């Protein structure tokens, strides 16, 4: 288990037979070792990549809602949760998620500062801000802080999964492009 990313094709976006993703109230470091075991193999080729996600929001209800949305996908694993920005930085450092879903207004450390610190320590980690504010200034500040995307919470049910996939596929394409040149 070298932690490398495998390039694969999705099985089917609505196929949830193997959706064994659970949302936890605390970190489960052993779950990261299961992602390779949960990848489906058909015809000798990997059929799904598992996106490892850290969900950060100070509201337990919102975190649960986001996790429920993510649970519907076979290729997304919630590896950890955090309830404030400082905890998000610690857990990102410890678990090294592919993507951090980050709220803006939180106690201890806000999402902008958490994004700056995560990107400084883990530059390849992607950050998607998920905020209650549908505000251009907040979106600009999120991008300045290191976020690669922004989703308004009221639109999360319809926009979160497409935004995650788009963000990750753009990142993968950029990595492929930089390795070819």
The answer to whether position 14 is within a domain reads: no
The answer to whether position 164 is within a domain reads: yes
pLDDT for residue 171? 72
- pLDDT tens, residue by residue, 91-121: 999 999 999 999 999 999 999 999 999 999 9
The answer to whether position 45 is within a domain reads: yes
The answer to whether position 8 is within a domain reads: no
- pLDDT tens, residue by residue, 3-40: 433 333 333 333 333 333 333 434 443 343 334 434 44
Partners of 100 in the β-ladder: 54, 127
Using a 10 angstrom Cβ sphere, with 0-12 exposed, 13-18 middle and 19 or more buried, the burial of residue 52 is buried
What pairing do the DSSP bridges indicate for beta strands 149-152 and 45-46? unpaired
The sign one gets for the Cα dihedral 135, 67, 11, 29 is positive
Domain count, the chain: 1
Please tell me which residue, 46 or 132, carries the higher pLDDT value: 132
The answer to whether position 107 is within a domain reads: yes
- pLDDT tens, residue by residue, 36-91: 434 444 444 544 578 999 999 999 999 999 999 998 998 899 999 999 999 999 99
The answer to whether position 124 is within a domain reads: yes
- Domain carrying residue 38: 31-176
pLDDT for residue 18? 31
**Average per-residue pLDDT in the chain?**
77
The answer to whether position 25 is within a domain reads: no
The answer to whether position 140 is within a domain reads: yes
Tokens 């390795």 belong to 179
What CATH number corresponds to the domain at position 121? 3.40.50.2300
Q: Give the mean pLDDT of 127-145.
A: 94
pLDDT for residue 122? 96
């Amino acid at each position: 288990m070298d932690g490398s990313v495998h390039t694969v094709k999705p099985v089917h976006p609505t196929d949830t037979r193997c959706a064994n993703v659970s949302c936890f109230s605390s970190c489960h470091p052993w779950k990261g070792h299961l992602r390779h075991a949960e990848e489906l193999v058909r015809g000798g080729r990997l059929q799904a990549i598992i996106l490892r996600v850290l969900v950060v929001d100070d509201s337990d209800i919102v975190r649960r809602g986001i996790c429920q949305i993510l649970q519907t996908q076979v290729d997304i694993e919630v590896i950890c949760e955090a309830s404030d920005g400082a905890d998000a930085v610690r857990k990102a450092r410890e678990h090294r998620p592919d993507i951090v879903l980050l709220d803006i207004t939180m106690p201890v450390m806000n999402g902008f500062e958490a994004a700056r610190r995560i990107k400084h320590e883990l530059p390849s980690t992607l950050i998607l801000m998920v905020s209650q504010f549908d505000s251009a200034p907040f979106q600009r500040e999120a991008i300045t802080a290191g976020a690669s995307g922004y989703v308004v919470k009221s639109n999360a049910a319809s926009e979160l999964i497409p935004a995650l996939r788009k963000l990750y596929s753009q990142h993968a394409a950029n990595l492929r492009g930089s390795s070819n040149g």
